[in-house]
Chain A
Amino acid sequence: MSLPTSSVKMYPLGDAAVVLQLGDEIAVETHGQVKAVVRFLNQHSFPGLVEYVPAFTTVTLYYDPWLVSERGQVDPYAAVEENIRLMLAQLETDSAPEEPSIKEIPVVYGGEYGPDLAFVAEHCGLLPQEVIARHSQADYLVYMIGFAPGFPYLGGMDPKIAAPRKQVPRNVIPTSSVGIAGLQTGVYPLETPGGWQLIGRTPLSLFDPDRESPSLLQMGDVVRFVPISEAEFQAMKPDADGD
């Protein structure tokens, strides 16, 4: 992994977190570096590290100042920074990038599951079938999980199917709806209000607290949407009441 030292920054987020910033814009290369840091932290924690949160260009490390300072003996911020420097040095030599895990997400497009498919098609000057084809042909990179439990920030949507948000947001968007907002596409893990154009729905749960890994997707995964029929959707759905 190449890490141009000049682009790496560290700064505090309050008295119990350090932000490691690896770039300034959304880029596949920066994402690769974020992923390498995450992989390293998964395997090598240090005493007092509470957890870490990867984002587009940053990994934020939460620490317990009392534990990291060895009960007030040493500067905990400096100690965490030192741990991060050692980690980055080790990552320099540890070059083989991990193959991304590919997750297929079946989607029933249009109809009651994707009430805005027709709008998106018309807005883009395409047939609904063409919107579905373009949406399901791309490989999407999960840059990060945030905003809501299990919500993926996906990159890689075909700009030809971009569509503006709804002027009046819906009060309730059903769980597992697949939507488009501007150049972004995503899946709603929870029932929430929202302004995305809904083009379909997946029978999978993006978030399930009882699963060993509650979020279906992890940062770094590659997502492919696979069109399915309504009958397949009903067959795959764990409970049929539409909840």
Chain B
Amino acid sequence: MGIKVEKPGLLTTVQDLGRYGYQKQGMVVSGAMDSFALRLANLLTGNPENTAALEITLSGPRLRFQEDSLIALAGANLSPKLNGTPVPIHRPIFVRKETLLEFGAAVQGCRAYLAVAGGIDVPLVMGSAATYARAALGGWQGRSLQKGDVLPLISATSEQLRHWQEKCPAGESFLVSTWGLSPNLLPTYREHPTLRVLPGPEYGLFSENTQETFWHAEFKVSPASDRMGYRLDGPSLQLQEPLELLSSAVTFGTVQVTTSGNPIILMAEHQTTGGYPRIGQVISADLPLLVQVRPGSKLRYRQVALSEAHQLYYHQEQTLEHLKRVLHLQSKR
């Protein structure tokens, strides 16, 4: 019983919101790259926001449900199909046992989240279900999914399922909810986004030319990018003078510049500390836009003030609170 992996896809991992509290021991946070999308997917199925779900990357898996389940997809649109029929994202969907979920072309973004009511049943490691494959830890056996895996599920409440089982017409393998998220609640993913950025702690140590370049040039996401960091190709960024920095904390969205002058943006599996100068920091509210770009995409940066970054973050949290209220009412109907 659970979800059978008939094809694993490019990179499918179990993730939650990350492993916090152990960075002082050198442990990376990991967790969903697009935490906003993971929270949406979970809320749509009635789960707490931090429930373990699947992060699906670009080329999706083929998954067979071995029990009746309530699911929701959020984040990238990777053309999901149930038993061959295209289904929408950002809506709860009831699927009967034996239904097949497959994906097609990546229409928008590159990371989709599949939440299942109840959640995926994996042991918590250091308080989190997030996969950290480099240390073979967390998630499903510390690794990305492979063909033949059967992911156990924590059963949804029988009341919740019975409601859907009765509603789903006999002979139909799935039922898409009549309501879903309004698009204006969602971030607009773009192929070549402009990200809002705060100057990093070492911004002032870069040459004036480089500071200018940083805000005006285009940076291309290299194929050598992963959940740890996005390597960027573009104009070389130079310090005023060479400098040996002492290692200090770095975080998700930190734009650091290597000795060769190329920037790397640190992602969900970033190391806890680093010694490269930090020229910028992508604001929290724009991390979903960043993680959804693909290799080859071009990024630009726009400077914002710290207070604006906070306002944009509040807006996202308010959206989620609003959604929780609506869903709570919905569940009472």
Q: Using CB atoms and an 8 Å cutoff, list the residues of chain A in contact with chain B.
A: 11-17, 19, 25-26, 38, 50-58, 60, 62, 65-66, 69, 71-72, 75-77, 144-151, 153, 189-190, 207, 209-210, 213-215, 218-219
Q: Is the CB of B251 within 8 A of A146?
A: no
- CB neighbours of A50 from chain B (8 A): 20
Could you tell me the distance between the alpha carbons of A213 and B249 in the complex, rounded to whole angstroms?
A: 20
Contacts of A144 in B (CB 8 A): 247, 273
- On chain B, the number of residues with a Cβ less than 8 Å from chain A's Cβ atoms is 42
Known: A13-B200, A66-B314. A149 touches B25 (CB 8 A): yes
CA distance A57 to B50 in the complex (A): 33
B residues in contact with A65, CB < 8 Å: 284, 310, 313-314
The answer on a CB contact under 8 Å between B246 and A54 is no
Please give, as numbers and ranges, the residues of chain B lying within 8 Å of A69 by CB-CB distance: 310, 314
With A57-B246, A146-B273, A153-B247 known as contacts, the answer to whether A13 contacts B25 (CB < 8 A) is no
Which secondary structure dominates chain A's binding surface? loop
Interface of B is mostly: mixed
Output the least CB separation between A75 and chain B (Å). 7
Q: Are A11 and B201 in contact (CB under 8 A)?
A: yes
Indicate whether A53 sits within 8 Å of B24 (C-beta atoms), given known contacts A11-B201, A77-B306, A146-B272: yes
State which of B134, B254, B313 has its C-beta within 8 Å of the C-beta of A13.
Answer: B254
> Which residues of chain A are within 8 angstroms of B250 by Cβ–Cβ distance?
13
Contact of B281 with A by CB under 8 A: yes
Q: Closest A-chain residue to B273, C-beta based?
A: A146
Chain B residues with Cβ below 8 Å from A14 are: 198, 200, 251, 253-254, 281-284, 309
Residues from chain A with a CB closer than 8 A to the CB of B317 are 66, 71
Contact A150 B26 (CB under 8 A): yes
Structural contact, A214 and B22, CB atoms closer than 8 A: yes
Residues of A within 8 A of B273 (CB): 53, 55, 144, 146-147
Residue B87 lies at the interface, judged by CB distance under 8 Å to chain A:
no
* A-contact bits for B301-319, CB 8 A (1 contact / 0 none): 0000011011101100110
A149 touches B135 (CB 8 A): yes
Name 21 A/B residue pairs within 8 A (Cβ), A-sorted. Answer: A12-B281, A13-B249, A13-B250, A15-B198, A17-B251, A51-B24, A53-B273, A55-B249, A58-B248, A60-B251, A65-B313, A66-B313, A71-B314, A71-B317, A72-B318, A144-B273, A149-B26, A150-B27, A190-B135, A207-B25, A218-B24
Bound together, the chains give a CA A56 to CA B273 distance in angstroms of 11
- Chain B hits for A71, CB < 8 A: 314, 317
- The answer on a CB contact under 8 Å between A53 and B201 is no
Kindly supply a per-residue 1/0 record for chain B positions 288-331, scoring 1 wherever the CB is within 8 Å of any chain A CB and 0 otherwise.
00000000000000000011011101100110000000000000
Give the A-B contact count at a CB cut-off of 8 A. 143
> Are A215's CB and B249's CB within 8 A?
no
How far is B310's CA from A76's CA once the two chains are assembled, in angstroms? 8
CB distance from A33 to the nearest CB of B (A): 14
A13 in contact with B251 (CB, 8 Å): yes
Query: Of the candidates A26, A58, A219, which one forms a contact with B24 in the assembled complex, judged by CB atoms under 8 Å apart?
Result: A219
Interface residue B28 (Cβ < 8 Å from any Cβ of A): yes
Asked whether any CB of chain A lies closer than 8 Å to the CB of B42, the reply is no
A151–B271 CA distance with the chains assembled, in angstroms? 11
A65 and B309 alpha carbons, distance in the complex (Å) = 10
B1 adjacent to chain A (CB < 8 Å): no
B309 and A218 contact, CB distance less than 8 A = no
The listed residue with most A CB atoms (<10 A of its CB), out of B134, B135, B309, is: B135
Is A215 within 8 A of B26, CB to CB? yes
Contact assessment for B25 and A213 in the assembled complex, using a CB-CB cutoff below 8 Å: yes
B4 within 8 A of A: no
Residues from chain B with Cβ under 8 Å of A75 in the complex: 307, 310
Interfacial chain A residues near B28, Cβ < 8 Å:
149
